[in-house]
Structure 1
Amino acid sequence: MTLLMDKSTFVGRRHELSAARKALSRTRLLTLTGTGGVGKTRLALRLAEQLRPHYRDGVEVVELAALETGDLLEPAVAAALGLRDARPDPMGVLEEHLAGRRMLLVLDSCEHLSDVCARFVDRLLHAAPRLRVIVTSQRTLGVYGEQVLTVPPLSVPCGPREIPGAAPGEVPAAGRAPGELAAAATAPRTREVARHDSVRLFVERAAGVVPGFRLTAGNLGCVTRLVQRLEGIPLAIELAAVRLRTVPLDQLVRELDERFDMLAARAPTVLPRHRTLRATMDWSFRLCSPGERRLWSRLSMFTGGVDLDTAETVCSGDGIDRLDVLDLLAGLVDKSVLVRYGSRYRMPESLRAYGCDQLRPAELGRLRRRYVRHYRELVEAYRCDRLVHDQLERYRFLQVELPNVRVALETCLGDPALAPVELAAASALWCFWLQAGSLTEGRYWLERGLELVPEPGRARATALWVHSMLALRQGDLAAALPRLKECQAIAGRAGYEDVLPYAIRTAGVAAFSSGDNRRGLALLRESLALHRALDDMDGVLFTLYFAAAYGSVVDPRLAVEFGEELLRLCETHHAQVSRAYAQLAVGMALWNLGDFPQAETLVTAATEFTGRSRDRWCLVQCLEVLAWTACARGGYERAAALLGAAHALWQAAGAAPERLCYHASGHEQCTRQARLALGKPAFTSAFRHGARLGLDRAVAYALQPG
């Protein structure tokens, strides 16, 4: 996750870190609460980093601020843990995965999902007795056994804000000594003040803006007054420190005094710390140029950060010239409103929420329309179901943009006129949902769109076959078949010839899933012929894969032909992701034909690529087939270890080789032969060794010569 202070050092919090560690020794759920901007997230990340050596199964951090609906909590956490939700219940996948693991899970920014998070965490803790959870939230969860640690502001110096030698109420100018006697008297006071974390934070950040800045007798009063005014709130101190780039310290303190006094007079009943942070953000906003203010508020739409091209496309117009966007972004970075990471810009959550509040209704409406149009075009431009050389780059780009895509989808669902746009976008992402293992999320967006678009047109027909395919991948025939039947009815009408091959292809997968392998293969061949007739090479690509993979157990010689054609297509177009799947499919068909060496060569090549690209779905199947080939040449211990490594990934995927018709027979045969050859104790030992390897070591083991 990307945060405001990630690039700077961690300051203070020794007491809070110690208290949090002690609390986690007594409880399995620790909630860090506190006002916005107080540093809950930063403290949680620091704590997780310190505790990492104590959790053999790892520490995972899941950022929830960008999640707009609780319905996606379970699949989002599963995805963050690398679990592909192959079953309709990602919660079940999570429970099984975490059940025996000693692990620390950090759920960051839960306040907007607190009720859902409470139920989620309670269930996880019951299912996984060695799991510990840290939550950051402005509200407690109220779960039994929860311990709460309120994160206070950083410590500030107490006592008078003036320094010896200054007139009452006077703020000495930075760098101006009040006299030798006063300086001598102030030396102990300077050391005392410097020990406070708020002062340390301000001095460190100020030094980053004004090289050589340090705490002295001359600026002691100003620094003390400033951190007292800001009540030790880290975000407020960060925002104030960057102002030193343009004004001296004494003027900075006077500006804050004036702004805070004005806000206190207008809102005397607001809690002081909330008022302090709000006043600091108001003050920072007013110090921005008109263009920077507009851009700040418009960028608040982007929960997942933004790159320059997108900022120019969505945020320009209505007072912002496209050519000025880069300079405005730089200005907001200079003011610590934005943080730049590579080519992307992100805004801390408190500042993003503030920016949302600044959008006028008319401006918000125009912004939403541009935002939706941009992400609809982006989803289409970066489709993963294309026969292109940059398949992997497309997938990774969509992973980065997914939080923003979710906002666009949710925005569409709030406007009936935009519901067809949402349905088309969710359908266009079908291959991404499969690759990412986000089948539950894909079905979620499709189901909501289908409810709002009942008309039997192209958008609905496409969404129906996509939904059916995702449901079939999860083994949910009950949900898939009615949708598929409706899709076939629409696709059979005149004018829908381009949809029909996809409906038939999905019907073929459904037939295989129902146990009718011969009919399934016939339907896939029919779909392939229709795709060829339409010169739809993207459709040909995926239908060849399904025909090769599923057909490997029905007609392996024909499956090899399909797979080799797919390989030629992929190599011609440099489609590396599809090429790995093609190598796997041909390898399975060759194994069924008894050509174990060639099968192993192809699947090893696929393993090498998928290990680097971290495509877990292709990888787990590769490890499975490599276990079969090892077993076929008498490498029973290696076969058992590879079965164990695959088992760990199958489990994480919520899937099993026995539930895939083109894996079931090979898996059963390999397991039986290896167990007989080794004996049960030796087989179990090798299997467990493989299961404990983890992804990277499992890939390295699989690539070692047998």
Structure 2
Amino acid sequence: MKPNGGLLTGGSSFIGRRRELSTARKALTQGRLLTLTGPGGVGKTHLALRIVEHVRGMFRDGVAVVEVGTLETGELLEPAVAAALGLHDTGPDPMNALVDYVSGKRMLLVLDNCEHLCVICGRFVDRLLRAAPRLRILVTSRQTLGVYGERVLPVRPLPVPDPGRPPGEIARHDSVRLLESRMAAVLPGFSLAADNAHRVARLAQRLEGVPLAIELAAARLRTMSLDQLLRELDRPIDVLAADTCAAALPRHHSVRATTDWSYGLCSPGEQRLWARLSMFPAGVDLDTAESVCSGDGIDAADVLDLLAGLVDKSVVCCERRESGLRYRMLESLRAYGGERLASSDKDLLRGRYVDHYGDLVRNSRIDRLVPDQLERYRRLQAELPNVRVALEACLSRPPLARAGLDIASTLWCFWLLAGSLIEGRYWLERGLGLVPEPGGIRATALWADSMLALRQGDLMRALPRLGECLDLARRPGNEAVLPYAIRTAGVAAFSSGDHERGLSLLRESLALHRSGENLDGVMLNLYYAAAYGSVGHPGQAAEFGEELLDMSEKHHAQVSRAYAQLALGVVRWNLGDCRRAEALVTSAAVFTGAVDDRWCLTQCLEVLAWIAGARQDHWRAAGLMGAAHALWQAMGASPERLWYHAAGHERCREQARGALGGRAFATAFRQGTRLGQERAVNYAVAGP
């Protein structure tokens, strides 16, 4: 778990807040829930990040951060927290899985920007704290959660000086130090001196020491002098809409007023783009901004210049990533932009937004035999908050429901690999409730929902959906869905204990995909046939696995290759070929450990434990089982629930316990659970 977890903090360095840092540390030592409250722009998120850095050592099981502000609905809170904790398989009830996981952990959970889901967050936090006595939770919100035991730390503006005091005294105030830092960023060489200290103090006073207001105002010094800026701040500018004027305070009395002022100084095109960018909680790249935000007052060719203007004004942050530049806004500025987004703009953007992310999802499918599988997966991870906005836009408007259901279905493989089964089913089942027509879109969603339910072990919900899917797939016009429906029925048969029928159905689906020359379908069928057939039919499973490995290597499909190696490794193990099994699974472990694919990695550690046991290295086997156990637990899963793992797991455990004795086995196992993911991979691939 990474301590920052994606918190967007803007460009300012951290200045001051020593009292708050000390108070927060004490509060998290003495209490279990600390809420940082204050208006937007006062620096709650930035302070939370610094608190994490200061208290990290108190939490041996780590820190997890969830950006609640990017969640569209309360139903996504539990899956989002589960994902942040690395729980890839929570079953049908993520809350129970979360409670089980955190119950014995000494860790810190940070929930950032909770105000729009305050009641839901309160209930959620209360349940977790009751179940996990060592858990601590840090919340940022414009209002308190109202949970018993909640400690509240108001985050106030930075102290401001009296402009009439001596320059040395003025310089000691944190608001002045922040202003000096931000002014030096836009005016290289600037420093506080006797001839400017009083004016800087006046500026800090005008801005009331609010960090966001300081950021916005300092950015204007690129185009005006300090004296001009002070005059500008003193001049009343009415930029508020009529329905918000009554709520506005004088300019120098609120961060809202400073934001209004900054908005008013933007060009009409910058104002319009600011409002339109508010639709993107995960930010955008230039191509997306040009595609979705242009039109009706913004030419596509002008978007780059408008973005540059907003970056110069500190409204937008420009982040450099491997995939290129990405533009984001602080949550308070994004919320402000949303208020300024006109209804006509919303209607214009909604269709473009849905079309854009529908195309992105279709072009980023990871159930394809292509060389860029990993890049597609990472792209979807980065864009998920924006995709959620598209899904919500579709499923809250019946005319767009079919498009939303299609997007949710297309993401089925992403939901699986990301461990976002609850979220995937949430969108699918909402869409299925809105799209009753018995066409291909509904049929596809039915097998996708069934597959996710089967992965959760939820046969009661999977089988009726699958039955309807099979019925629809056999109707004229829906024939293309039939191979997928039959494949899902094969997985369901295995899950129900009917392994012969399961393998027969997978063969039938495979034949249909081959006849249709659908290599993507063939790839997935080969994986399921190799993995599920590895125990009862290892000879046939080996043929499926070898073909899958050959296909994956020929098409340079790295993710598919790792899963092929895992499945074939289990097959070779069951055929008694330990040397080949170890080579295959070790290679898969190295790759999946590097890309943080915990589902595949955990199975690799499990199989490598069996191989160590077969070599009579039972101490190593117990350690690897412990390392795998920690990851199984984190995902809310277990090897006993996988048909092709259960017998090998039980045999390895009993042999190691018998050879070492109960106490030594427990010691080795416990040491393995404490390795952590990176050290576990190193231990697994180091060899005996």
- How would you bin the TM-score normalised by the shorter chain? over 0.9
Q: What is the match of residue 252 of structure 1? A: 229
Q: What is the match of residue 553 of structure 2? A: 571
Q: What is the match of residue 537 of structure 1? A: 519
Given the alignment, which residue of 605, 617, 636 partners 2:587? Answer: 605
Amino acid at match of 1:519: R
- Of the structure 1 ranges 314-323 and 38-47, higher mean CA displacement relative to structure 2 is found in 314-323
- Of the structure 1 ranges 131-140 and 356-365, higher mean CA displacement relative to structure 2 is found in 356-365
TM-score, normalised relative to structure 1: 0.94
Q: 1:5 to 1:72 in 2, by over 3 A?
A: closer
Q: Does 1:338 align with 2:316?
A: yes
Counterpart-to-counterpart distance in 2, 1:453 and 1:2:
35
Once the two structures are TM-superposed, the CA of residue 508 in structure 1 deviates from its matched residue by 0.4
Q: Does 1:76 align with 2:54?
A: no
Q: What is the match of residue 454 of structure 1? A: 436
Q: 1:238 to 1:7 in 2, by over 3 A?
A: closer
Amino acid at match of 2:179: F
Q: Does 1:300 align with 2:282?
A: no
Q: What is the match of residue 662 of structure 1? A: 644
Amino acid at match of 1:577: V
Percent of counterpart pairs with the same letter? 68
Q: Deviations over 1:248-283 (max 9, x none)?
A: 0011011011137998x9957656799622221121
Q: What is the match of residue 23 of structure 1? A: 27
Once the two structures are TM-superposed, the CA of residue 567 in structure 1 deviates from its matched residue by 0.5
Q: What is the match of residue 312 of structure 1? A: 290
TM-score, normalised relative to structure 2: 0.96
Once the two structures are TM-superposed, the CA of residue 219 in structure 1 deviates from its matched residue by 2.1
Given the alignment, which residue of 653, 664, 673 partners 1:682? Answer: 664
Amino acid at match of 2:641: R
CA contact (8 A) 1:29 1:132 kept: yes
CA contact (8 A) 1:630 1:638 kept: yes
Q: Does 1:121 align with 2:125?
A: yes
Please give the secondary structure, in 2, of the residue aligned with 1:662.
Answer: coil
CA contact (8 A) 1:95 1:128 kept: yes
Given the alignment, which residue of 182, 192, 196 partners 1:219? Answer: 196
Q: What is the match of residue 41 of structure 1? A: 45
Q: Calculate the aligned-residue CA RMSD, in Å.
A: 1.7
CA contact (8 A) 1:260 1:279 kept: no
Q: What is the match of residue 172 of structure 1? A: none
Q: What is the match of residue 323 of structure 1? A: 301
CA contact (8 A) 1:35 1:274 kept: no
Counterpart-to-counterpart distance in 1, 2:610 and 2:19:
55
Amino acid at match of 1:116: I
Counterpart-to-counterpart distance in 2, 1:129 and 1:4:
30
Counterpart-to-counterpart distance in 1, 2:32 and 2:90:
29
Q: Deviations over 1:641-699 (max 9, x none)?
A: 01001111111111111111111010011111111111111111110010110100000
Q: Deviations over 1:195-226 (max 9, x none)?
A: 11111111110011111222223223322222
Q: What is the match of residue 386 of structure 1? A: 368
Amino acid at match of 2:215: E
Once the two structures are TM-superposed, the CA of residue 22 in structure 1 deviates from its matched residue by 1.8
Counterpart-to-counterpart distance in 1, 2:440 and 2:556:
31
Given the alignment, which residue of 451, 471, 474 partners 2:456? Answer: 474
Counterpart-to-counterpart distance in 2, 1:692 and 1:245:
52
Please give the secondary structure, in 1, of the residue aligned with 2:109.
Answer: strand
Structure 1: tracts of 5 or more residues without a match: 164-187
Q: Deviations over 1:527-567 (max 9, x none)?
A: 00011111111111101000000001120000000000001
Counterpart-to-counterpart distance in 2, 1:261 and 1:424:
45
Q: 1:145 to 1:638 in 2, by over 3 A?
A: same
Please give the secondary structure, in 1, of the residue aligned with 2:370.
Answer: coil
CA contact (8 A) 1:30 1:146 kept: yes
Q: What is the match of residue 139 of structure 1? A: 143
- Of the structure 1 ranges 221-230 and 589-598, higher mean CA displacement relative to structure 2 is found in 221-230
Counterpart-to-counterpart distance in 2, 1:533 and 1:573:
20
Q: What is the match of residue 288 of structure 1? A: 266
CA contact (8 A) 2:207 2:253 kept: no
Q: Deviations over 1:445-494 (max 9, x none)?
A: 00000000001100000000000000000000000000000000000112
Once the two structures are TM-superposed, the CA of residue 2 in structure 1 deviates from its matched residue by 5.0
1:141-290 to structure 2, matched below 5 A, reads 141-158=145-162, 161=163, 163=164, 189-259=166-236, 270=248, 276-290=254-268
CA contact (8 A) 1:33 1:138 kept: yes
Amino acid at match of 1:27: G
Q: What is the match of residue 108 of structure 2? A: 104
Q: Does 1:617 align with 2:590?
A: no
Please give the secondary structure, in 2, of the residue aligned with 1:147.
Answer: strand
Q: 1:4 to 1:279 in 2, by over 3 A?
A: farther
Please give the secondary structure, in 1, of the residue aligned with 2:315.
Answer: coil
CA contact (8 A) 1:231 1:273 kept: no
Q: Deviations over 1:284-333 (max 9, x none)?
A: 11211222111111111000011111111101111212122111111111
Once the two structures are TM-superposed, the CA of residue 86 in structure 1 deviates from its matched residue by 4.0
Once the two structures are TM-superposed, the CA of residue 6 in structure 1 deviates from its matched residue by 4.6
1:304-453 to structure 2, matched below 5 A, reads 304-342=282-320, 343-453=325-435
Counterpart-to-counterpart distance in 2, 1:196 and 1:358:
34
Amino acid at match of 1:297: A
Once the two structures are TM-superposed, the CA of residue 357 in structure 1 deviates from its matched residue by 1.5
Counterpart-to-counterpart distance in 1, 2:546 and 2:179:
64
Counterpart-to-counterpart distance in 1, 2:246 and 2:356:
43
Counterpart-to-counterpart distance in 2, 1:82 and 1:102:
16
Counterpart-to-counterpart distance in 2, 1:698 and 1:268:
60
Q: 1:428 to 1:557 in 2, by over 3 A?
A: same
Counterpart-to-counterpart distance in 1, 2:177 and 2:6:
23
Given the alignment, which residue of 3, 12, 16 partners 2:16? Answer: 12
CA contact (8 A) 1:391 1:575 kept: yes
Q: Deviations over 1:68-97 (max 9, x none)?
A: 101010100111122113411121222122
Amino acid at match of 1:627: A
CA contact (8 A) 2:446 2:466 kept: yes
Once the two structures are TM-superposed, the CA of residue 33 in structure 1 deviates from its matched residue by 0.4
Q: 1:451 to 1:274 in 2, by over 3 A?
A: farther
**What number of residue pairs does the alignment pair up?**
679
Counterpart-to-counterpart distance in 1, 2:462 and 2:66:
31
Counterpart-to-counterpart distance in 2, 1:469 and 1:34:
44
Please give the secondary structure, in 2, of the residue aligned with 1:498.
Answer: helix
Q: Deviations over 1:149-195 (max 9, x none)?
A: 1111110114xx5x5xxxxxxxxxxxxxxxxxxxxxxxx61111111
Counterpart-to-counterpart distance in 2, 1:489 and 1:41:
51
Q: 1:86 to 1:26 in 2, by over 3 A?
A: closer
Amino acid at match of 2:534: S
Once the two structures are TM-superposed, the CA of residue 5 in structure 1 deviates from its matched residue by 4.3
Structure with bigger gyration radius:
1
CA contact (8 A) 1:260 1:276 kept: no
Amino acid at match of 2:175: S
Counterpart-to-counterpart distance in 1, 2:249 and 2:31:
31
Q: 1:274 to 1:84 in 2, by over 3 A?
A: farther
Counterpart-to-counterpart distance in 1, 2:159 and 2:256:
20
Counterpart-to-counterpart distance in 2, 1:100 and 1:272:
51
CA contact (8 A) 2:94 2:422 kept: yes
Structure 2: tracts of 5 or more residues without a match: none
Counterpart-to-counterpart distance in 2, 1:358 and 1:221:
35
